[in-house]
Structure 1
């Protein structure tokens, strides 16, 4: 497989993932995008669609990481992108526990955490940390504009994801906006990955 195909996978992963979860969330009864996590879309009868979304995005991102390894500019960045991809695959393989009252009829916070839910959270956390770190590592391999953008993306991605995590845990007066914070964070992260792929592909 040509390296340009591997890198193109990195361009496609974010837009496809975003379109899929927005479409899924719009059609779910009781699902509130500003409040509920993207992962909660994997719950219920139609949850298979979000599971597939995680697995496709993870597979495309892992393929992209292989392209980065071949092309550079940073082997460390490529490894971190691979961890991000594995985090997505793990999030798809293990379903999250109900949270924030979704699916309807469940409590805001789970009374008992399942093993699958704990593994989902573990893979997700590892992936998020790896993507934030990749922003900083890859910032060192470009011109000043790319460096500033990558550092800003890493900081904002981590900050908004931390806000989302706190909100999903019921902490803070913005607890009802966890889904919004998470969507802002994912948009920042996926946009950075897409632009990284464009930059390396057309360098």
Structure 2
């Protein structure tokens, strides 16, 4: 016997999916607002020399740690909304998985704080530490997992949206993935202002995901 869901059930499922997608939509504005306001206001921080992760150090470090934990949770939870909205579409399996992994990576990056370095917080010797602690290595590993997952999710979304004929959002997704790929590569290669290019790349990739999630809230055929 075939059963079909009632309009009320479909409506409730659609509303729940929209709420989950809102988690992804909100992730980027929250991350950027908390991180960039600190970058501008905290004494001794220079975004051309210090990664945003360094803000987890010092007396106000709890702000950035909380930023990592909350935004990571938003992405990990919101990935369920992406899975529902993309159900049956190309990328519908792997994009949500990658976004969830990125969220878990951000949570781990908040738990494992990198070592103070290069004059920040104020009073820290300039230059890099002679030896890194284990939690600093764990932070870098978590960051690498997050970056790679965001890059892959954006590029897969770009392919999916391109095949669907949505060229504008396909370009947005690809731009986010490429921006993070280049920004991270430049930073890892020791290029000038590499921490700035990395910050731009991360925020661009996250912004692409947030805007696409916003579009799916209104246009996905899987949301009744």
Same fold (TM over 0.5): yes
Correspondences of 1:4-153 after superposition (within 5 Å): 4-72=18-86, 73=89, 74-104=92-122, 105-142=124-161, 143-145=165-167, 146-153=169-176
Distance 2:45 2:159 in 1: 40
Are residue 155 (structure 1) and residue 162 (structure 2) matched?
no
Contact preservation (8 Å) 1:132, 1:154: yes
Distance 1:190 1:112 in 2: 32
Can you list the C-alpha shifts for 1:94-130, whole angstroms capped at 9, x where unaligned?
Answer: 0012233322332311211111101100011001000
Following superposition, which runs of at least 4 residues in structure 1 exceed 6 angstroms of deviation?
Answer: none
Are residue 180 (structure 1) and residue 193 (structure 2) matched?
no
Distance 2:66 2:79 in 1: 20
More moved, 56-65 vs 91-100: 91-100
Distance 2:16 2:178 in 1: 33
> Could you tell me the TM-score, scaled by structure 1's length?
0.90
> How many residues are treated as equivalent by the alignment?
196
Aligned-residue offset at 1:144: 4.6
Are residue 200 (structure 1) and residue 216 (structure 2) matched?
yes
Distance 2:104 2:113 in 1: 15
Q: Which residue number corresponds to residue 164 of structure 1?
A: 187
> Could you tell me the TM-score, scaled by structure 2's length?
0.82
- 1:81 is paired with a residue whose SS is helix
Distance 2:155 2:196 in 1: 24
More moved, 51-60 vs 106-115: 106-115
- Rg larger for: 2
**Gaps spanning 5+ residues in structure 2: where?**
1-14, 220-224
